[in-house]
Amino acid sequence: MSIHEVFMPALSSTMTEGKIVSWVKSPGDKVEKGETVVVVESDKADMDVETFYEGYLAHIIVQAGESAAVGSAIAYVAETEAEIEAAKSLVNSGSTAATAPAPEKVPATAGVGASTATTHNGNGSNHKEGRLVASPRARKLAKELKVDLTSLKGSGPYGRIVAEDVEAIVNKGKPAAPTTPAPTVAPVVQPPAPAVAAAAPALVPAATSAVPGQIVPLTTLQNAVVRGMVASLAVPVFRVGYTITTDGLDKLYKQIKSKGVTMTALLAKAVAVTLQKHPLLNASYSDQGIVYHSDINISVAVAMDDGGLITPVLRNADMVDIYSLSRNWKSLVDRARAKQLQPDEYNSGTFTLSNLGMFGVDTFDAILPPGQGSILAIGAARPQLVATSDGLFGVHQQMQVNITCDHRIIYGAHAAAFLQDLSKLIETNAQSLTL
């Protein structure tokens, strides 16, 4: 007789507990090895969790909406129907009763965080041919709209069905609404303000509906941000500000935004290209010494509309062309809204951008993310009366940037030299960002 515990898996390196979003299987249901049984909300995403065992979901210990620490049991899987009642008795007795078989624990090498579950992480390592793979949001939408998921072809990684696939089949044959954008990558809609002022299409947090005097518990994502920010307080940092004229960058943006290029991608590209000359600014501290990263991955801070902050990552931003980079960014933001980012899409950054320019902010100090050496805060671009080198005056668009660096490995001269080269690129050679 064998009863197995399903553990709360560690879906990211910073995850200490997870929240059950929904159980895909109900008690008594047959489960196959590698089949999704539960959807878990980790620090920053909802992820499918699979079982290593074939048998029956005997008992659910942690219900939907409840949280559990990483490594704790959230359910029991029995190998046979006859063992279902024995599994229930483990919970009812509060311990492994002598008359009931002790649940087996899977070896630590069998799954993430030594749990009995593994995640479908979208990179193909856990993909199984012939098995239906759909995002939690797609499953929920399909249930509401009465769509058979088995009839759909997924457009996500490795054929994963996403919400857009469900919506597409429902809307098939219907006339498109006037507000529906035709292109796959829509150009950024600019408010009547300078181009750089809307550099990052951050999600603006929705107004809270909390009653005054009421205590609203933090979300899983907000708690993750809290832990990261508290950890950052232990790092000695310094800040350096710089003013950059953006006339050339604004002109380039106006020329190519109709092709789907975003200002976020342009800024990320400019920073990444500059980092090629300043690898120390792309490095991070460790107890063993300075970690020089092989890739330049630009994180961009995005405020989630239900609270918290996430940093989608534009990987190899120095090498990817500006058009592909813009498409990647749009995909990252869409999946961030749907809480469908995979861990390596938000925790693999080596340098971070934080932009509040769209709110008209002049300048601000950004908090250094854990595990990185630098973060660049970007303010709004404004028309300024500037004295030119020939002694005349002219009106130019200018923005203020402010870099925060880990002073254990980066010194003032390093940061200043980086900002000087970034300014030179943006002011005199912005067109090179399209090459």
Mean pLDDT along residues 183-207: 41
Instruction: Tell me how far apart the alpha carbons of residues 335 and 320 are, in angstroms, rounded to a whole number.
Output: 20
Instruction: Tell me how far apart the alpha carbons of residues 224 and 10 are, in angstroms, rounded to a whole number.
Output: 13
Residue with more model confidence, 174 or 259:
259
Q: Which of 127, 293, 407, 414 is catalytic?
A: 407
Mean pLDDT along residues 429-433: 96
Residue with more model confidence, 265 or 101:
265
- Residue 141 placed within a domain: no
- Taking residue 153's Cβ as centre, other Cβ atoms within 10 Å add up to 8
Average pLDDT over the chain reads 79
Query: Lowest-confidence range among 166-180, 230-244, 257-271?
Result: 166-180
Q: Is 4 known to be catalytic?
A: no
- If you ran DSSP here, which 8-state letter would residue 128 be given? -
Range of the domain at 288: 232-434
Tell me, what's the pLDDT at 111? 33
Residue that is last in its domain, among 33, 63, 90: 90
- Residue 165 placed within a domain: no
Is the distance from CB of 355 to CB of 392 less than 8 angstroms? no
Q: Please report where in the chains the tokens 């489960």 appear, as a residue.
A: 31
Any idea what the CATH number is for the domain that residue 279 is in?
3.30.559.10
Instruction: Tell me how far apart the alpha carbons of residues 39 and 338 are, in angstroms, rounded to a whole number.
Output: 14
Mean pLDDT along residues 106-127: 36
Tell me, what's the pLDDT at 209? 59
Give yes or no for residue 262 having a pLDDT over 70.
yes
Tell me, what's the pLDDT at 414? 97
Residue that is last in its domain, among 56, 90, 124: 90
Give yes or no for residue 4 having a pLDDT over 80.
yes
Exposed/middle/buried for residue 182 (C-beta within 10 Å: 0-12, 13-18, 19+):
exposed
Is the distance from CB of 235 to CB of 408 less than 8 angstroms? yes
- Residue 277 placed within a domain: yes
Any idea what the CATH number is for the domain that residue 13 is in?
2.40.50.100
Give yes or no for residue 14 having a pLDDT over 60.
yes
Contacts of residue 346, defined as CB under 8 A and 6 or more positions apart, other chains included, come to 44, 45, 299, 310, 311, 312, 313, 336
- Taking residue 76's Cβ as centre, other Cβ atoms within 10 Å add up to 25
- Residue 350 placed within a domain: yes
- If you ran DSSP here, which 8-state letter would residue 100 be given? S
Count of domains observed in the chain? 2
- Residue 27 placed within a domain: yes
Question: For 369-378, how does the pLDDT look when each residue is reduced to its tens digit (9 = 90+)?
Answer: 999 999 999 9
Q: pTM above 0.75?
A: no
Residue that is last in its domain, among 37, 59, 90: 90
Question: For 207-218, how does the pLDDT look when each residue is reduced to its tens digit (9 = 90+)?
Answer: 455 679 889 888
Residue type present at position 41: E
Is the four-CA dihedral 47, 52, 56, 58 of positive or negative sign? Answer: negative
- Residue 211 placed within a domain: no
- Residue 152 placed within a domain: no
Is the distance from CB of 58 to CB of 104 less than 8 angstroms? no
What CA dihedral angle connects 175, 176, 179 and 185, to 10 degrees? -170
Mean pLDDT along residues 234-238: 94
- Residue 250 placed within a domain: yes
